[in-house]
Amino acid sequence: MIGAGLVFTAGSVGLDPATGQLVEGGAAIQAKRAIANLGAILDAAGSSLDRVLKTTVFLVDLADYPAVNEVYRDAFAEPYPARTTVAVLGLPLGAQVEIECVALTAEAS
């Protein structure tokens, strides 16, 4: 959804766009794919990962937080977007991580 110079994404899990299947290999690999998917969504909406203001990260297991945090630090530049991390009982398709974001559009300054 785009409005008032902002892009609001739905949650993205680590689906491989070529296969439509969840990537294998754990929460960090799924987080990396989910962020790449968000990047593609933002690009299509006239934004980018470097314009992200806020993310919400949903984890099935909070023990995965350090590994996902490493991926997060690699994907976003300082100052990092504000982030909320929430533990959940389950995610679509058995995913271990889901990420949503709010970003500025190209028109917003």
Segment 1-25, tens digit of pLDDT = 556 899 999 999 999 999 999 999 9
Q: How high is the pLDDT of residue 106?
A: 77
Instruction: Provide the b/e sequence for 18-47 (b: ≥16 CB within 10 Å).
Output: eeeebbeeebbbbbbbbbbbbbebbeebeb
The predicted model scores a pTM of: 0.94
Segment 34-71, tens digit of pLDDT = 999 999 999 999 999 999 999 999 999 999 999 999 99
Options 3.30.1330.40, 3.30.70.2190, 3.30.465.10, 3.90.1150.10; CATH for 2-104 is 3.30.1330.40
Longest Cα separation, the chain: 39
**What whole-number percentage of the chain has pLDDT above 90?**
93
- Residue boundaries of the structural domains of the chain: 2-104
**What whole-number percentage of the chain has pLDDT above 70?**
95
